[in-house]
Every structure is written in structure tokens, then in C-alpha cells.
Amino acid sequence: MARKKGSYAGKILRVDLSSGRVENRELDPSFAHTYIGGRGFASRTLYNEVPPEVSPFDPANRLIFTPGALFGTAVPAASRTTATAKSPITEMHGDGHSSGYWGAVLKAAGYDMLILQGASPKPIYLWIDNDRVEIRDAAALWGKTTMETDQALRETLGDREIGTLVIGPAGERKVRLAGIFSDGIMGTFARTGLGAVMGSKNLKAVATRGTKDVGIVDVEAFRKAYQDYLQVISVDPYVAPATKYGTCRFMYHRVKFGIHGAKNWRLGDFDWKPLDPEVFRSDYQIKASSCPMCPVRCRREYRIPSGKYAGTVTKLEWETIARSMTCGVNDPEGVIYFSHICNQYGLDVEGVGDTVAFAMECYEKSLLTDKETEGLPLRFGDPEGLIEITRRIAFREGVGDLLAEGSLRAARAIGKGAEQFAMQVKGSEMSAGDPRGMPVRAVSYATSTRGSDHLRSNPYVEELITPEEGLQHFGSREAADIFQGLKGKGRLLAWSENFVTIGDLLGLCKFAYYRSATFDYLRKKGVELATRFYNACNGTKLSEEEMLQAGERAFNIEKAFNAREGAGREKDLIPERFFKEALAGGGPSYGAVVDRGKFDLILDEYYEARGWNERTGLQKRKTLEKLGLKDIAEDLAKRGRLG
Amino acid sequence: MPKTKTGLGDSKRKEKRRILYLSLPDHADRVCSGCETCQLMCSLEHAGSFNPKKARIKVVPLSLGITIPITCQQCEDPACRKACPEKAIVQHKKLNLVVVDEKKCTGCMACIGACPFGIMAYDPEKKRAIKCDLCDGKPACVQYCPSKVLVLAGNRESAEIRRRRFAAVLANEDSSARHNMAGAEQVKTLPRTMTQLAAESSKLQLEGGR
């Protein structure tokens, strides 16, 4: 076991679940340095291997796991792994990102990428014990919840220190809102329905043991960068509330702008006080915990001490609170329990929350009645309704079977105009805050390559730049004007998308690197230090520009994947409600709508900044060639999908 | 007045020190967060690479949201040394502690079984026992712990920390104290984890004795 030179493990593992064939290939160094790791490796592989004729549940669909290039090292907050497949919810590029230990363990077992293809005829799990790879029977695990499966694997395999990936009952039933869970419920690959892809392959779990080293080339440069990182987070005002409240702290941001999107994205303000971060901190929080290597410590587990849900302990993040409010629920114990059952059954809280909110609005408007719900009232604000319908979605019982398809498919089945209440982009349910009144955020939800997503683009950049920085970096002082700004917004968005993609390549958490109180701190962490850490670990001399370009490259590969699936400018759109209905319920953004004209102008500037055709939204040949993606340009040209 | 013959004033014999977990019971943010930075920084310091298996400190995940770092207590008459059939665990020349002599160690794991805290580790690559040596007096884990809950404690500090910890365990057994302690955080975080830890270890001892 000679010491490896850098943070790469050096091998790619491919397992065909139909034939049981295992292939172990060397990682090509030029592939590594072009696509860097994580989302870069996976997006490129998915493009190469999953053409449009392969549907998401086709055994030929790939399920790819890629720990970020720095995961496994002690680089602060390097803790993220990417899971990628053609998504059952968008039928386009799909990926989810998770913390947890599994990714580091895969690296320690010797692999930078795990590619799964084919499908087993019966339930199985995969056991990767360093160099030994086995497909094992999972009859005894099938039907178990995420936590039960994780515990059973650790007991069966006789090792508490293994890493696991599991699906719950929802994934087994191919619920399109199912996620994949890492190490019990330590982390979730939540978005884009990847748990259903895993279920379609009859793969209940992946258990991994790794005992090898992850290497480093320049220890001194690493220590220096580490000190600089700690210095930035010690002065960045963004960090203290994150450590104090966890991600619950985003409540204060939503309140400041009045963008709750409560009751299926209709209300800007909402009776949020019962969900105050202080309440979670004082009444339910166990302690400030963290993901691997993270000094920010914004991860939280909560415990309900008494009452109906007494004894419940679960992990909960801000989006669970946000999506509960989308369902009108403001009972903290109901919210924690909702998180608990999503975690146990293996569901994406964002997808489920929005889908239930959609169903509640259908119920309100009598498009769904007690007949369809079998007597279950789906009323906004009722935690019990939310919890019961979530259970039915996980097990595909009654109306849950319909909703398990996600809001857009359910709306089409219901008909009668229900589609206008399905709040989704490219089929994937909304996340984060209401885009009305914040034009660039509206566009960012539309341009994301995996359907509605706030983490794909980090539109928050506009909130922290000064007009001078707007002029200097994005060509206009208007880029810093959240509400009225127009010029520079498209360029800001394109830059920001490339910028945060770096985190997904390296496995760095977005909260620890891609959020800050100032633009200086943000760039210092997200580009400068990220690049220095990568170079220190691998002995490379990548420039910050090259790192940003690697982000741009990964984003363009995903865009090309979607273009090849038939998506153009018409798919870069947000739900009609945001253009037509003024934000109700009071609050700072009361009465706001997204101005369609402004939306289109920002989108035009965005396409121009990206080097894509403004009319069709498709990529130009020279843009792809500049990024070293000549073969993708050829492929798209053949299919008539170049801009 | 004659100089005191105990503690720091006694320069003849270098004072014994060990790394201890000092959670601050009055502050929910000053407990082990479970990030495991200590493990990889330990591995980097000793092995020049990142591998939690090569760490001389272990973060034990007890249950959801409860993680406790376990450190070598640098015992006075160490069980690891007594158990070693090769006499490979020897006194360190400079620091007042014992270390593993890599050349003599055969990897038989006798010391690993003997350590009352389960903190003797095993290097899976070299197939040798490994043990905390306080990084020559500047422990990497203490230096890099983001929550600042690891301390390098001398005799007096060690007694203080352990006494406080023991009191917390007893307080949790005492229902009046549990209900009346002023710092609510104290009841919620520390004692529960400690009782759990005690329960867990007594269970392990029972199983081991069969």
C-alpha cells in the first residue's frame, strides 16, 4: 500500500447489477484535472453513458456516486458527495449532494467514483470491502426504514465504522420524491428523485469499508490555507448565527424580505413566530453538531421531549421548516416529526412539502375531495394531515400513490387546471424563498440544470455586493440593486453558478464556503482558498480562473445533457403564479410579482454571458470548444441541438 | 517557606499531562460536534496522510446527535505496557508517557485488548499498535478542534475536569438535582451523554465478561 500522491484515490469502480460484473479502472489523471471531481466527474460520465433513449427507470440508466475531490482530507467542511442519474422527476440531468461519512470511506476503500448500471431481479445490497466487492442478498433489509437498514448493516457486517448509503420504503416503491441517505440519516441526496432510481435497480444499500490513506502533497501549504480559512470565518459575520442556530437561522432572512411562500407559494408573510430559531434552539436542539471536518457547525439534531411525538430524535434543516410553511404548518413539533418521517421513509422534504402543498390547494379548490383522499382532510396548517399524507406517499397508499409521482405528474392526472397549482421548474418542486420581488432569484430558479434550485446558483451574491463591486465584476452598479436592478444581473448569475459549482467539484459545503457577509470573504473562501486547498493536496498549480472554468465546464455539460433531452429556453421558466399573482399576506414584499419583461431581459443577458444562443437557449459551438468539450459540440450538432 | 513538592512546582519529574475532553456544560455550542477534525489532524501529524484508522484519538458516535471524543489517559502504570509480551511499550525519553517501539511491536493486539479506555489504535497499513504521544507536547487535535473542547491537562486540571464530570453523572442520578440545576443546558446536554456513556461502557464490560 504505497502512499498515494494526492487527494485522489486513483480508481473508478463500476458494478453491473444485472450481470454482477465488477470493473476496476485506473483514474486517468487528465480526466481528473479537467473535471476535478464530484459533480464534474459524474456529469461528464452521465453525458457519455445515458443517451435520450434511456428512461430514468431503464436498467441502462446510471447511478453514479462521486465524493468531492477533497473529501477524505482534513480540508475544512470538505464533506460532500454527489449522486447523479437521469432524474425520474425532471427526466433530465439529476443530481443530489450529501454530507455523511460514506464518501470519505469510498475514497479510503480506493475509489473516486462508483458507477452502478443494470438492475438486479431481486433485492440486493452492495458490499465494498476495500478491494473486495460483493453483491449480497437484501431480502432481510427490504422494507426497513433508513435508520433500521443502516443499523442492520453495521450489525451484520460486524463493523461500526463502515459507511452506508441506503434507501427507505419510498425508494423501494420508486416514489419520485425519494432520496438516498448516507450513514443512517447523517446526510441526504435529496433532490431529483434518485432514491427511486436506486429502488428501480432493486439496490437497497451500499455498505463500504475503507482503510487506506487519502494523501496530501504539500502539508505546509495546506496548514497555511487552513489558518487563513479559520481567520476568514472568525471575522465573517455570516458565521456566528450559523453556529448558533444551524440552518434554522435562514428564518430571519425570509422574514427580512417577506418571502416565505407560505400556503403553496401565495403568502409572503406568515405566522412564523412559533418557528423562531430561538424556539428550536432552546426547546429542541441537542447540541451544535457538524458534518465531517466542519468548523462552522450548523448541523442540528432535535429531540421532542414530551407530548404526542415524545422521544423523537431527528436531523432537521431549514428547508424542512420552509416547506412546512408551504403547507401552512407552524407547529414546531409537527415540523420536527415531519422531518423525522421523511428521514425514516427516505423522502426529499422539499419535493414532498411542495407536492403536499399542491394537494392541499387542490383540496381547497375541490379538485381533490374526501373521495380521493379517503376521508383525510388536506387542510393548510394541519400538521397531522401533512404527516399522514407523507406516510401515504412513502407507501404509495391511496391518493399517496398519485402524489408519489410528484406535483406535475399528479396535476396532469387530476386535470381540470390543476397544473397551475403545481409549483415546479422542469418538473422539480420549488425550494428556498419566494422569488417575487427578487428578479435575479426568479431567473436563477429557472436556469438551474436540475430543476428549481437555490443552491445551483447562489443568487444571494446580489445581496452582499456593493454598487462598486457590481460595476467592477458584472459591468453595472445595478447588479447590487436587489429589487430594481437589471443590468449586470445576468452576468452575476452566470458567474455565481460557475462559482458555486466549484464547491460541488471539491466536495466543499456551500454554507461553509459559498455564503458570506461580504463579496471579499466570499471570493476569498469560494475561489482562492478552495483552489489553494486543491493545489496543496494534489501538488497542482491550478489558477483561480482555471478553477472557475472547471465549474463552468461542469455546468455546461449538464446543460448539454438537458439540451440533448430536448430542453431549450422554453424550459428555463418559473411557474405562472409568480408572474401573475401578487404576493399576498402582507410583509415587506407584499404585492410583488415577477415582471415577465425583466425576467426575459435578465435571461437574455445571462445567455449572452454564458455564450449561449439567446433565442433558443442552446449552447454555441465555440462556447463548448472553449471549454474543451468539442466532442459534446459534435454530438449536439448531429442532433440539431446547438445554438 | 519550602517549595511545594506537588504539581507544577516539582521540576524533578516532568508533570504528567493528558488530552481530556472538556465540554462546557453551560454552553450548547461548546461540546464535541462530531466533526472528526481531531482524527484526521492526528493522522496527518503522525502518518503524513489522512486516515481515521491511523488516529490516536477516536470520536465515538453514541447515538443521533451524541458524539464523544475518547483520548489516551496516559495512565500512571499503563495496562497497555503491562499487557505487551514484547516489551514494546516503553517510556518516552522526554515526555512523561509511554510510546510504542515500532521495531519491537509485532501487532499482536494484546495492548489493544488491555486498554481500559479502548483507545490503543491499530495501524492497518503497518500492522502495528499506535498510541497517543501528545505530538511532542503540541497535540494536533487540541490545536485544531473547532469547538475548542479538547484540552492538554496537567494533574490538577485533570482532577478538576474529572471531578466535575463525575459530579455531573451523579447529579443526573439525583432527581432533585436534575430538576433544580440552574443551567438548563447542563441538564439537557452533558449529564445525559455521560450517563449514556456510563451505561454503554458497563454494558460492554458485562458482555466482555461472559
Residue found under cell 481567520: A231
| Residue B58 scores a pLDDT above 90 | yes
| Residue A241 scores a pLDDT above 90 | yes
User: Which of B27, B31, B38, B40 is the best mutation test for A, with the most CBs of A within 10 A?
Assistant: B40
Least CB–CB distance from A289: residue in B34, B40, B52: B34
Task: Give contacts of B135 with chain A, Cβ < 8 Å.
Answer: none
Contact A132, A124 (CB under 8 A): no
In this prediction, residue A579 has a pLDDT band, given cuts at 50, 70 and 90, of: very high
The per-residue pLDDT for B193 is 40
B195 touches chain A (CB under 8 A): no
| Nearest chain A CA: its distance from B126 CA (Å) | 9
The per-residue pLDDT for B63 is 85
Is residue A431 in a domain? no
Is residue A527 in a domain? no
Q: Give the tens place of pLDDT for each residue, B97-112.
A: 999 999 999 999 999 9
Task: Give contacts of A215 with chain B, Cβ < 8 Å.
Answer: 49-50
More confident residue, B191 or B29: B29
User: Which of B21, B37, B39, B57 is the best mutation test for A, with the most CBs of A within 10 A?
Assistant: B37
Task: Give contacts of A285 with chain B, Cβ < 8 Å.
Answer: 28
| Residue A510 scores a pLDDT above 60 | yes
- Mean pLDDT along residues A207-223: 97
| Nearest chain A CA: its distance from B90 CA (Å) | 27
Is residue A189 in a domain? yes
Q: What is the CATH number of the domain that holds A405?
A: 1.10.569.10
Is residue A587 in a domain? yes
Least CB–CB distance from A73: residue in B50, B53, B188: B50
Q: Give the tens place of pLDDT for each residue, A250-303.
A: 999 999 999 999 999 999 999 999 999 999 999 999 888 999 999 999 999 999
* Three-class secondary structure assignment of A424-445: EECCEECCCCCCCCCHHHHHHH
The per-residue pLDDT for A379 is 98
Mean pLDDT of chain B: 79
A557 touches chain B (CB under 8 A): no
| Same domain as A162, residue A253 | no
Pairing of the two strands A163-166 and A203-209: antiparallel
Note down the domain range covering A141.
11-209
User: Which of B39, B51, B70, B123 is the best mutation test for A, with the most CBs of A within 10 A?
Assistant: B51
Q: Give the tens place of pLDDT for each residue, A96-108.
A: 999 999 999 999 9
**Structural domains of chain A, count:** 3
Single out the residue of A62, A23, A71 nearest to residue A43, CA to CA.
A62
Task: Give contacts of A277 with chain B, Cβ < 8 Å.
Answer: none
Least CB–CB distance from B125: residue in A1, A289, A295: A1
Task: Give contacts of A290 with chain B, Cβ < 8 Å.
Answer: 33-35, 146
B137 touches chain A (CB under 8 A): no
Residue A189 region, left (φ>0) first, then alpha (ψ -120 to 50), else beta? Answer: beta
What DSSP assignment string belongs to A322-346?
HHHHHTT---HHHHHHHHHHHHHHT
- Mean pLDDT along residues A190-194: 97
Residue of B nearest to A183 (CA): B64
| Residue B199 scores a pLDDT above 80 | no
The per-residue pLDDT for B203 is 40
| Same domain as A500, residue A414 | no
A313 touches chain B (CB under 8 A): yes
Q: How far is the C-alpha of B53 from the C-alpha of B40, rounded, in Å?
A: 9
Q: What is the CATH number of the domain that holds A101?
A: 3.60.9.10
More confident residue, A587 or B10: A587
Least CB–CB distance from A288: residue in B29, B51, B54: B29
Percent share of chain A, pLDDT over 90: 97
| Residue A345 scores a pLDDT above 80 | yes
Residues with Cβ within 8 Å of A516's Cβ and at least 6 positions away in sequence, in order, are: A236, A238, A464, A522, A525
Mean pLDDT of chain A: 96
| Nearest chain B CA: its distance from A159 CA (Å) | 13
Single out the residue of B160, B33, B131, B89 nearest to residue A512, CA to CA.
B33
| Same domain as A92, residue A152 | yes
CA distances (Å), B111 to each of B19, B57, B117, B145, in order?
Answer: 20, 16, 11, 27
In this prediction, residue A4 has a pLDDT band, given cuts at 50, 70 and 90, of: low
| Same domain as A318, residue A410 | yes
The per-residue pLDDT for B178 is 53
The per-residue pLDDT for A72 is 98
B44 touches chain A (CB under 8 A): yes
The per-residue pLDDT for B171 is 74
Which of A360, A390, A422 is at the close of a domain?
A422
With H, G, I as helix, E, B as strand and everything else as coil, classify residue B83. helix
Contact B204, B60 (CB under 8 A): no
CB contact under 8 A, A292 and B35: yes
Pick from A43-57, A589-603, B177-191: least confident: B177-191
A601 touches chain B (CB under 8 A): no
User: Can you state the angle between helices A489-506 and A544-564, rounded to 10 degrees?
Assistant: 100
| Nearest chain A CA: its distance from B36 CA (Å) | 6
Least CB–CB distance from B37: residue in A104, A293, A300: A293
Percent share of chain B, pLDDT over 90: 50
Least CB–CB distance from A289: residue in B33, B43, B47: B33
| Same domain as A500, residue A580 | yes
- Which burial class, exposed, middle or buried, applies to A78 when counting CB atoms under 10 A from its CB (0-12, 13-18, 19+)? buried
| Same domain as A491, residue A376 | no
- Which burial class, exposed, middle or buried, applies to B66 when counting CB atoms under 10 A from its CB (0-12, 13-18, 19+)? buried
The per-residue pLDDT for A493 is 97
CA distances (Å), B188 to each of A364, B185, B191, in order?
Answer: 42, 5, 7
| Residue A167 scores a pLDDT above 70 | yes
Which of A360, A388, A422 is at the close of a domain?
A422
Is residue A514 in a domain? no
| Nearest chain B CA: its distance from A433 CA (Å) | 28
Is residue A518 in a domain? no
| Same domain as A140, residue A189 | yes
In this prediction, residue B201 has a pLDDT band, given cuts at 50, 70 and 90, of: very low
CB contact under 8 A, B53 and A211: yes
| Same domain as A604, residue A547 | yes
Is residue A280 in a domain? yes
Percent share of chain B, pLDDT over 70: 73
Least CB–CB distance from A74: residue in B47, B50, B189: B50
Residue of B nearest to A73 (CA): B50
| Nearest chain B CA: its distance from A285 CA (Å) | 9
A182 touches chain B (CB under 8 A): no
pTM, two decimals, is: 0.94
Task: Give contacts of B54 with chain A, Cβ < 8 Å.
Answer: 213
A72 touches chain B (CB under 8 A): yes
* Long-range contacts at A136-142 (CB < 8 A, ≥ 24 apart): A138/A202, A138/A203, A138/A204, A138/A205, A141/A204, A141/A205, A142/A172, A142/A204
| Same domain as A293, residue A166 | no
| Same domain as A397, residue A316 | yes
Is residue A617 in a domain? yes
| Nearest chain B CA: its distance from A103 CA (Å) | 13
| Same domain as A274, residue A148 | no
CB contact under 8 A, A290 and B34: yes
Contact A368, A170 (CB under 8 A): no
User: Can you state the angle between helices A38-49 and A489-506, rounded to 10 degrees?
Assistant: 100
Which of A422, A455, A475 is at the close of a domain?
A422
In this prediction, residue B28 has a pLDDT band, given cuts at 50, 70 and 90, of: low
In this prediction, residue A202 has a pLDDT band, given cuts at 50, 70 and 90, of: very high
Single out the residue of A15, A386, A58 nearest to residue A208, CA to CA.
A15
Contact A612, A618 (CB under 8 A): yes
- Mean pLDDT along residues A416-436: 96
- Mean pLDDT along residues A576-599: 96
| Same domain as A147, residue A178 | yes
| Residue B163 scores a pLDDT above 90 | no
Q: What is the CATH number of the domain that holds A608?
A: 1.10.599.10
**Lookup: cell for B8:** 507544577
